[in-house]
Amino acid sequence: MISQKAQKITSFKVMDILERAKELEAQGKEIVHLEIGEPDFDTPDCVKRGALKALNSNETHYTHSLGLLELREAICEHYKAEYGVSIEPDQVLVTSGTSPAMLLVFSALLDPGDEVIVPEPYYPCYPNFIRFVGASPVFHVTSSQGGFMPDPGQLKKILNKKTKALIINSPSNPTGQVIEEEILKELASLGVTIISDEIYHGLVYGEAKCHSILEFTDNAFVLNGFSKRYAMTGWRLGYIIAPRHAMRALQKLQQNFLISANSISQRAAIYALKEAKAHLEAMVRIYDERRVFMVSRLKELGFVIHVEPKGAFYVFADASHVHPDSLEVSHIFLEEAGVAVTPGVEFGGSVRSFVRFSYANSLQNIQKGLDRLLSLLGS
């Protein structure tokens, strides 16, 4: 008999969309993928060279459960250079991606009955992780008029004795919004533990600037990794930066559940941090070109974009002129136009009419997909 907690896990709708798209492709239909949050760039050559060097040196064994010391030192150097914050290697735990990192953090922090405040719209896996360990998500619905920013004043009203943490994500999936420095300061002053998902850091455009929550408080757990910024999704490598008092608990969980992250990926990641800067800058320039193009074309197609993205690689657009239910919109677009998008209901009930478009695809394919929507909608 399947456990109740497993049965209560909801499907990851973007993967449902992707899998249906793959079925259609197997039938010979061409699909334009604007749904998936995966860089279309190849991993930087310097990272591949690092992996080959590790292979040729037979670095194919377990590492320390916290991760390679050299990698943890490089992560500390990176946070010092980027944000001016001082952390030590014994505050870093390297994981097999940021999803296992979330599981470890929530498992270490939460007991049954605890609550975690989740600003909405949110990355859809957050509530499932929280519920899986027996706690409850409490949703803080943000507004498009407020730029989908967390509201510290409203959050104060939600905080109670059961509140164990607040999770934030900047740059945001799905909105591409970057939380402003002053708001981060106010959030840090609330006195609640903050879990900061910083996986899209480095992917920002124009004058937008990423700030780590560690600039404003030590009462925080940072989730980060190499999938998005370094185009290393398949390498499955992330990390946690945590207060020292939590590290032994996190380490024991890692030892029991995961042992250690992939040794070759860890060695390659050192090269990502130290040698991939030029490659990253080139990727950001291309993403920015796609971002500007997609925003302009979607507006022409009648989509309302309340907040133009400043980071990540998504545009979150109101599609109520097509249909009030984004699940129906995504179905129509995929089945009738061969364009895969992610329904907004994936990110919370308050944004049910929204659709997330990903520009982690070539400009040529983005144009093709939007041309198909033009033909479908007759705009």
Provide the CATH topology of domain 4-42+278-377. Aspartate Aminotransferase, domain 1 (3.90.1150)
At CA 370, angle to CA 369 and CA 373, rounded to 5? 95
Residue 52: what pLDDT? 97
Q: Do 4-42+278-377 and 45-275 have matching folds?
A: no
Whole-model pTM?
0.95
CATH number of 45-275: 3.40.640.10
Q: pLDDT value at position 13? A: 82
pLDDT at position 379 is: 56
Question: In the chain, what are the domain boundaries?
Answer: 4-42+278-377, 45-275
pLDDT tens for the chain, 379 residues long, are 889 888 888 888 888 888 999 999 999 999 999 998 999 999 999 999 999 999 999 999 999 999 999 999 999 999 999 999 999 999 999 999 999 999 999 999 999 999 999 999 999 999 999 999 999 999 999 999 889 999 999 999 999 999 999 999 999 999 999 999 999 999 999 999 999 999 999 999 999 999 999 999 999 999 999 999 999 999 999 999 999 999 999 999 999 999 999 999 999 999 999 999 999 999 999 999 999 999 999 999 999 999 999 999 999 999 999 999 999 999 999 999 999 999 999 999 999 999 999 999 999 999 999 999 999 998 5
* Residue-level pLDDT at 130: 97
